[in-house]
Structure 1
Amino acid sequence: MTINIQHGSPSFPSATSTLAPSSREDMDGAIDVLVEQKENWIQTSVTERIRIVDSLIADFSALAPRWVAASLQAKGLDEDSPYAGDEWSAGTWALLHSLRQLRQALVNIQKDGHPHIPGPVRMRPDGQVKAQVFPFRSYDRVLFSGLKAEVWMQPGVTAETLSSTQAVNYQSPAPAGKVALVLGAGNVASIGPLDVLYKLFTDNQVVLFKANPVNAYLSPLMKEAFRTLIKPGYLRVVYGGAEEGTYLCQHPNIDEIHITGSDKTFDAIVFGPGTEGAARKAARQPLISKRVTGELGNVSPVIVVPGPWSQQDIAYQAVHIASMLVNNAGYNCNATRVIIQHKNWSQRQELLQQIRSVLSHLPTRKAYYPGARDRYQAFLDAHPEAELFGTGDPQHLPWTLIADVDATHTDDMCFTTEAFCSLFSETALDAASVVEYIERAVQFANEQLWGTLNITLLAHPRSLKDPAVAAAVGRAIARLRYGTIGVNYWAGTSFVLGSTTWGAFPGHEIYDIQSGNDVVHNSLMFSRPQKSVLYAPFKSMPTPPWFTSQARIAPKLFKQMVRFEQSPSWRKIPAIIKTALFG
């Protein structure tokens, strides 16, 4: 097996599926139905769309336990596994949470022509507009205490014109109907359905969804949950691997393509596979001319700002950083891959040691994603000094830390290549001061690390009392070229917030696609976003449920959250808070 692991995301090997590939006759038939219905979808009233979303919420809520059970079985987890919460949170709750936001956005469009922004809209000194989008509703202020999020707009958007950049496909005249092909991701169960919803309700396109072979086992459940869209012909689901994907991408009646996955797959779609595809890319001669969008990978960094951290601070942030890797066994495009530290910080080694302690106490997980063992071994071959935590076997991979990677080795695969497995690294930068370190860390992340999807920055409140450090952090947030920035909160959680955007920093052309060229989620339907920024206290209270330290309570908590999204009510909040605090 040959796996391209250098520079960018992996080129994943073919996966097997329990579902037979769709025949060309079946795929053609599905596309014919969508072509027939694409104009009807454009003309579907907002009132009817709200009704459809209500049906989706009810239908998916009813089968959520079966959805989770299927995911747990496929990933080799028991119902009482400490990792079962992953499937209830990002796999199930995230979808219902986004559906609730979509419903509210549609209600606002029906009333005023655009979704309502729940927080203030402000202008930065340089004229850039930013809108607070989270908390999205009053419940969120209790359920996500202290967490706030903004969407920063691209230059040229003003406070006065901001609403006109929202829900543009709902403005007159209506756009022509289109058929979109959505190529599903195989790692997180909610990605495919969320991508489908975005193409339908924000981009206003009917959808052919090709399930990823890795998690195609969910497709029968998805067809059941999305029957309100399938019955009138606005959605069709098909199966298959690369051969079927190639056929669909080149089909004359597919107008647009969206993929969540690898830049290698994106290139194969646009330019073709192998050496011929590489030659077309070099010659800037795409194989297809239709619009192709992607949410792709990242070598996701965490910038640690030096400060007067207590032992409790170090313990908390060690769990925080480890949790960013361990979630979903490391098969996330937003998983931390490089921890950036100040070489002269007196507590650098103490933090690393605590991270080692956290990893050493965590059970290993099944390496369920295709090619994981080969990717993992390639990193170990390049870094035999890597530290392994937990016992590996034919099915499991150890948690792995590669510490003190030389930051001057710009072509080190830890910096150029997304591991997409249970492994991350740490590097340290020289600097004469904390301010200089922050500036160098931003430059390193922007220029040396591959991708622009998401980055997390950790800064102690006492550090921010120094005006120079606070100003440097402010400049860092403005200068970082990433689609999501998390300040004291894992940037990857932007994926589940819904009202934030999820995707690369804008500006990648197809010849250097990196982390992609569009956003999804984005329930407020901004058409010109630049990036999302999350802000949280240095230590959140209660501890976020996705922390590994909260694994015991996470399944129970997110089951409650799923029931809450099915029918939100203040009467359900006390039980949720009780579970979050006491289990």
Structure 2
Amino acid sequence: MSTDTIHRTNAERAEQIVTRARDGADNWARQTPADRRAMLMKLVELVDAHAEEWVRRACRIKGLDPSSPLAGEEWTSGPWATMYYARALAETLERMEQGRGPTHGFDIRPVTGDRVAVEVLPHSIWDRLLLSGLSAEVWCEPGVSEQQVRDTAGLGARNPQESGGTCVVLGAGNILSIAPLDALYALYADNRSVAVKLNPVTDPLLPVLQAVFAPFVEIGAVQFFSSDLDLGSRVIEHEGIDAVHLTGAETTHDAIVWGSGEEGERNRAAGTPKLTKPVTSELGGISPIIVVPGQWSQADLQFQAEHVATMRLHNAGCNCIAGQVLVLSADWAQKEEFLDLVRQALVSAPDRPGWYPGLADRVAAARESYATSEAVGGSPERTLITGLPGDGDSQAYSSEYFGPVLAVTEVPGTGEDFLRTAVDFANERLHGTLGANVLIHPDQIGELGHDRFERLLAELRYGTIAVNAWTGVGFLLPLVTWGAFPGHTLEDVQSGRGVVHNGLLLAHAERTVVRGPWRPFPRSIAAGEMSLTPVPPWFVHNRTAATTGRRLVRFVAEPGLTKLPGVFASALRG
């Protein structure tokens, strides 16, 4: 087929996609709140029906054995995350239908810096049982009162008949719930129909997504397509498309907004974007793992070393929220012991293919850049880079490796002095603001004081902060926000602009704060912490993650007490 023929075909196809999107926007605006809620619950049912096929296709994409514990990553970050969000969003709509408001029943407390925080987890009895030990809050922008939060929550769902037009969602290629979740947010938060362009890596999932979104596809409110760059560009730039949302690389965003090559440079210099319609985005970044020095037991050192390994190795390190820079105290007496255990945890994690395109090249480039890089073993080959400056710059602070490469730096101090220095390092040296992880013994929090510790957290300019948890857990939780810290511009977009997920449809969110238990079960119970999980199901060392993930999907499909023993039994064997 000639180039001219391809371009004519793409032009015709782009017109078809946009026409269907425009019709779909009108049809979506005609759906009543009750209809929209029913469509969400139908989606939950359809995801449950197609979950096995979803995971089989995901495992083929990533070269995983569907019976392997690693398949648990696909169960939890695919069907489970999608169903969990859809059900939570349906509950928000139900409260609005009843005139109670999205935040009815949720506590809102004052936090540092003239902020308020919406306490979103735990909320139900199921949260307390299945996610025991985890809590989450959405911190709102400074100066926004509790009443303002409650009065403005709902976004597009407050006036569903007012169409927001059309949106193109550019889906990511790494986590297979990203495109579905982004599509749902555009539908319900923005009142827009959605044309989802899949990443070529995820094209095999196309028939499953069309099946689970059938109620939306039937009325044109959602459509999925795969494409080459020419077709994708034609759809995005078409005057019939009102907005664009993308998850991907900063370079992709800049090429779309400003243009490529010399054209992009000219447009950026002139301050005239090539694409003038609204663009929101989630673009990754360099995520720190800040380890606050303290007196840790041997069991604490081992558990948190595996925690660090999970932050880097989940999905073979191909996550926009993967921990990339481990920040240790130069003055911590247990520093070397902990680092040795991190090495062991990296090596002992299950082998898997380096499935994402370009992974081997990125790892090789990282190794070649540092004389202190170590090939620690495992497959794909895992790399540790030590000795990076805490008071200077490094490639590892600006280049997202998107693979199993963990960098280590040290800054001086202990206690509050260390934490302040580490916060400054993360804010000033690392590119991006998507997520930051803080590992800190409860005794250290007690010594600092809860209020002082929260003030230090508030100084971390990240969209999600996880304390004794991984920020990736924030991605899975439906009622928190997901996105960069606010304030990035199109000229310096870093981790992106805007948020998604946000199941309460909050209008003034600034960031999410997730907290986890310091110790797993049973040590947690002996220490007075509420955690019933020996090894969290997202840990790469969990031996029953696939079974637990499958059972969590079945639970979300039809919650009930009779399903809990099976979930707990699998989790306890993990």
Question: Do these two structures clear the TM 0.5 threshold for a shared fold by scoring above it?
Answer: yes
Deviation (angstroms), 1:194:
0.6
Q: Contact 2:117 / 2:139 at 8 angstroms: preserved in 1? A: yes
What is the Cα deviation at residue 172 of structure 1? 4.5
1:475 alignment counterpart: 455
Give the match for residue 311 of structure 1.
298
Alignment partner of 2:472 out of 477, 492, 495: 492
Give secondary structure in 1 for the equivalent of 2:147. coil
2:217 equivalent to 1:225: no
1:37 aligns with 2:24: yes
The 8 Å contact of residues 437 and 467 in structure 2, kept in 1 or not, is answered as yes
The correspondence for 1:456, drawn from 424, 437, 450, is 437
Give the conservation status (yes or no) of the 8 Å contact 2:119–2:137.
yes
Give CA-to-partner distance per residue, 1:357-394, whole Å, 9 cap, x none: 11122243222212222222221111132111326xxx
Shift of 1:120: 1.6
Moved more, 218-227 or 539-548: 539-548
Match in the other structure for 2:384: 401
CA contact (8 A) 1:556 1:579 kept: yes
Unaligned runs of 5+ in 1: 1-20
SS of the aligned residue for 1:160 comes to helix
Query: 1:171, CA displacement in angstroms?
Result: 2.7
Q: TM-score, normalised by structure 2?
A: 0.94
Q: How much does 1:353 deviate?
A: 0.1
For 2:314 and 2:127, locate their aligned partners in 1 and report how far apart those are by CA, in whole Å.
23
CA distance in 2, matches of 1:371, 1:24: 31
Q: Give 2:422's match in structure 1, choosing from 400, 417, 441.
A: 441
Count of residues in correspondence between the two structures = 555
Question: Is the CA contact (8 Å cut-off) linking 1:325 and 1:422 kept in structure 2?
Answer: yes
Q: Say if 2:79 is the partner of 1:96.
A: no
1:179 matched to 2:166: yes
Aligned partner of 2:530 in structure 1 is: none
Q: Which amino acid aligns with 1:512?
A: D
4+ aligned runs moved over 6 Å, structure 1: none
Aligned pairs for 1:289-308 (under 5 A) are 289-308=276-295
TM-score by length of 1: 0.92
Aligned twin of 1:523:
503
Aligned-partner residue type, residue 430 of structure 2: L
**Cα distance in 2 between the residues matched to 1:241 and 1:440:** 46
**CA distance, structure 1, for counterparts of residue 185 and residue 322 of structure 2:** 23
Within the alignment, does 1:388 sit opposite 2:375 as a pair? Answer: yes
Of the three residues 191, 200, 203, the one matched with 1:213 is 200
Aligned to 1:509, the other structure's residue is in SS state coil
Q: Which digits, 9 at most, give the CA deviation of each residue in 1:76-112, with x for residues without a partner?
A: 1112323111111112211111111011111111112
Aligned match of 1:77 = 64
Structure 1 residues 173 and 455, CA gap change in structure 2 (3 angstroms): closer
Aligned-pair CA distance for 1:22: 8.0
Which residue matches 2:569? 578
Q: Does the Cα contact within 8 Å between 1:22 and 1:239 map onto a contact in 2?
A: no
Report the CA distance between 1:289 and its aligned residue.
Answer: 1.0
SS class of match (1:533): strand
**Deviation per residue, 1:132-154 (Å, 9 max, x gap):** 01113220101011211000001
Identity %: 36
- Aligned to 1:512, the other structure's residue is in SS state coil
Q: Equivalent of 2:488, from 508, 517, 525?
A: 508
Q: Aligned pair 1:416/2:398, yes or no? A: yes
Please say if residues 113 and 171 of structure 1, whose CA atoms lie closer than 8 Å, have aligned partners that are also in contact. no
What's the CA shift for 1:275? 2.5
Cα displacement (A) at 1:217: 0.8
For the residues of structure 2 that align with 1:88 and 1:467, how far apart are their CA atoms? Answer: 39
AA paired with 2:283? L
Q: Deviations over 1:322-367 (max 9, x none)?
A: 0111110000001000000110101111110001111122243222
The alpha-carbon deviation at position 301 of structure 1 amounts to: 0.5
Report the counterpart of residue 547 of structure 1 in structure 2.
539
Q: Secondary structure at the match of 1:341?
A: strand
Verify: 1:536 aligned to 2:516, yes or no.
yes
Which residue number in structure 1 is paired with residue 524 of structure 2?
A: none
Do the aligned residues in 1 keep the contact of 2:415 with 2:444 (CA within 8 Å)?
no
3-state SS, counterpart of residue 156 of structure 1: coil
Letter in 1 for 2:568: I
| 8 Å CA contact retained: 1:270, 1:286 | yes
Query: Partner amino acid for 2:435?
Result: N
Name the amino acid aligned to 1:343: A
Extract unaligned runs of 5+ from structure 2.
1-7, 522-532
Q: Distance in 2 between matches of 1:68 and 1:156?
A: 44
Amino acid at match of 1:275: E
Counterpart for residue 189 of structure 2? 202
CA–CA separation in structure 1 for the residues paired with 2:160 and 2:81 = 33
**1:267 matched residue in structure 2:** 254
- Could you tell me which residue of structure 2 aligns to residue 368 of structure 1? 355
Following superposition, the deviation at residue 496 of structure 1 comes to 0.3
Q: Is the 8 A contact 1:184 1:211 kept in 2?
A: yes
Distance, in Å, in 2 between the alignment partners of 1:175 and 1:164 is 19
Q: CA RMSD in A?
A: 1.7
**Paired residue for 1:466, among 447, 467, 473?**
447
What secondary structure, in the 3-state scheme, does the structure 1 residue paired with 2:169 have? Answer: strand
- Rounded to whole Å, the distance in 1 between the matches of 2:85 and 2:9 is 30
Query: How many angstroms apart in 2 are the aligned matches of 1:164 and 1:336?
Result: 36
Give, in whole Å, the separation in 1 of the partners of 2:140 and 2:112.
Answer: 14
